[in-house]
């Protein structure tokens, strides 16, 4: 069944290879689960809420990539934009995190 959904034979791969690749990808991206809450909590955000939001957003993004695009790409938070928002926009420029997050939201809408 998994082979039919993801067209593994057509892509010259198998379930074992894909599981190993998935575990490798998770291990290389797991740092985001620790670093993202640490960075964003400097703005006053609740670290536990940020962790939960990061986990949920990463799951939804990766699942959409897998089931809608049928591509083996994992998606998670963009750490560069998070650091810019936390340390430059909130830190140096002094904007509250709510305003900075609204700006990121508007940027996303414009990008889409």
Tell me, what's the pLDDT at 96?
Answer: 97
Tens-digit pLDDT profile for residues 39-52:
999 999 999 999 99
Question: What is the domain count for the chain?
Answer: 1
Spatial separation of the C-alpha atoms in residues 40 and 43, rounded to whole Å: 6
Task: DSSP for 21-57, please give it.
Answer: HHHHHHHHHTHHHHHHHHHHGGGT--HHHHHHHHHHH
Q: What is the mean pLDDT of residues 72-94?
A: 92
Spatial separation of the C-alpha atoms in residues 84 and 90, rounded to whole Å: 9
Q: What is the mean pLDDT of residues 51-77?
A: 91
Tokens of 70: 């049928």
Q: Which helix (H) or strand (E) holds 74?
A: none
Tell me, what's the pLDDT at 101?
Answer: 94
Whether the predicted pLDDT of 109 surpasses 80: yes
Confidence of residue 2 (pLDDT cuts 50, 70, 90): confident
Residue range of the domain that includes 43: 2-111
């Amino acid at each position: 069944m998994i082979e039919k959904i993801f067209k593994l034979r057509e892509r010259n791969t198998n379930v074992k290879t894909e599981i190993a690749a998935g575990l490798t990808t998770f291990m290389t991206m797991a740092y985001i689960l620790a670093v993202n809450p640490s960075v964003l909590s400097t703005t006053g955000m609740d670290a536990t809420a940020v962790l939960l939001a990061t986990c949920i957003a990463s799951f939804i993004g990766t699942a959409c990539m897998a089931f809608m695009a049928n591509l083996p790409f994992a998606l998670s938070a963009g750490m560069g934009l998070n650091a810019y928002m936390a340390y430059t926009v909130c830190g140096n420029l002094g904007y509250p995190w709510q305003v900075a997050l609204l700006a990121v939201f508007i940027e996303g809408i414009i990008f889409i």
